[in-house]
């Protein structure tokens, strides 16, 4: 049985841990509000790009668009995967769920080329055996990172080094739920594009005539790279929000569990102290009786 001193030390250690988890919980609560605000600000632009792409793809023929994003990739090449996680942990199973989805995809598509965003994703791909691969962090200038990732992956697709491109990330459903998902990016299907705000969206009803100059094909060829960039950028914002939500829940649970453990150890310490006092009293009484006898 643990002594009173040992139990007191464990209680002190748990109280220090509880202070850390409580502080991390408050930081996550503050950061998630900023992440959600950034995601809301990006949503109108994302929806406008997706709407314009759907309208353009409905008005042009596939053969008239020369951009490689609108054509099939090299069938002999390996698939490309953009794996996006957070840079840090202490968020429950947030990162591991996304990494598990990437491992499952890699098992079904042998030799897949990874482009990682986030330190946890980089480390996971290294453990898979792909030590050298393009990698970026989630922190920093997200727009510049999205442009760099889109340029590198788009170039590999256009030059036939990858046959297709998918994005594996965590979707922010609610504060209590973040779900990993696989989003196809390239090639861009006709009449069907991935909306960064609303995910997959079917072809809508056209709401009025729009004239594109100099031609719909010209505008579509210029818009496709922006679509890829902004899809990655919007997903980075969503990953930020999902990570802080997961961390908030994890730190809240850790704080509560630490409080329960402190209560249990306090009861055990009081029992141990009372047992020690009782033992001393019995020894005193036994000694007094022995002297009296």
Residue 141 resides in a domain: yes
In a domain, 229, yes or no: yes
26 falls within a domain:
no
Q: How far apart are CA 18 and CA 185, in angstroms?
A: 43
Is 205 part of a structural domain of the chain?
Answer: yes
**Confidence check: pLDDT of 143 > 80:** yes
User: Is pLDDT at 80 greater than 60 in this prediction?
Assistant: yes
Higher pLDDT, 219 or 139: 139
The pLDDT of residue 198 is above 70: no
Residue bearing the bigger pLDDT, 86 or 279? 86
More confident residue, 3 or 54: 3
CATH number at residue 67: 3.40.1380.10
213 against 32, higher pLDDT: 32
Two structure tokens written together for 202: 């079917």
Does any domain span residue 28? no
Lowest mean pLDDT segment, chosen from 67-71, 188-192, 211-215, 231-235: 188-192
3-state secondary structure of 48: helix
Pick the more confident residue, 173 or 66.
173
- Specify the pLDDT at position 202: 47
Is the pLDDT assigned to residue 191 strictly greater than 70?
Answer: no
Mean pLDDT of 13-20: 92
Domain count, the chain: 2
Query: Are residue 116 and residue 10 in the same domain, yes or no?
Result: no
**Cross-strand bridge partners of residue 177:** 174
pLDDT score recorded for residue 178: 86
pLDDT reported for residue 97: 92
pLDDT in tens, 159-173: 889 998 999 999 888
208 contacts 6 by C-beta, under 8 angstroms: no
CA of 97: how far to CAs of 113, 121, 134, 138, 248, in Å? 20, 11, 22, 17, 17
Single pTM value for the model: 0.79
Q: In the predicted model, what is the mean pLDDT of the chain?
A: 83
- CATH number at 255 reads 1.10.287.80
């Amino acid at each position: 049985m643990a002594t009173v001193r040992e139990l007191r030390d464990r209680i002190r250690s748990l109280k220090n841990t509880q202070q850390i988890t409580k502080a991390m919980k408050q930081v996550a609560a503050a950061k998630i509000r900023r992440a959600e605000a950034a995601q809301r600000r990006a949503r109108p632009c994302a929806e406008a790009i997706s709407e314009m792409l759907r309208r353009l793809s409905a008005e042009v023929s596939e053969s008239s668009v020369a951009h490689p994003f609108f054509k099939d990739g090299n069938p002999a090449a390996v698939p490309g995967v953009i794996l996006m996680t957070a840079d840090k942990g202490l968020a429950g199973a947030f990162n591991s769920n996304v990494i598990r989805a990437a491992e499952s995809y890699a098992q079904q598509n042998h030799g897949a080329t990874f482009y990682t965003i986030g330190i946890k994703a980089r480390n996971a791909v290294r453990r898979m055996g792909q030590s050298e691969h393009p990698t970026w962090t989630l922190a920093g200038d997200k727009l510049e990172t999205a442009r760099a990732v889109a340029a590198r992956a788009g170039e590999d697709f256009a030059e036939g080094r990858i046959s297709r491109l998918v994005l594996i990330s965590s979707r922010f459903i609610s504060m209590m739920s973040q779900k990993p998902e696989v989003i196809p990016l390239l090639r861009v299907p006709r009449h069907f594009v991935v909306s960064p705000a609303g995910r997959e969206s079917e072809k809508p009803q056209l709401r009025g005539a729009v004239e594109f100059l100099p031609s719909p094909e010209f505008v579509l060829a210029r818009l496709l790279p922006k679509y890829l960039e902004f899809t990655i950028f919007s997903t980075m914002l969503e990953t930020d929000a999902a990570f802080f939500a997961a961390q908030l829940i994890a730190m809240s649970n850790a704080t509560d569990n630490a409080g329960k453990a402190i209560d249990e150890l306090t009861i055990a310490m009081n029992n141990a102290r009372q047992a020690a006092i009782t033992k001393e009293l019995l020894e005193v009484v036994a000694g007094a009786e022995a002297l009296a006898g």
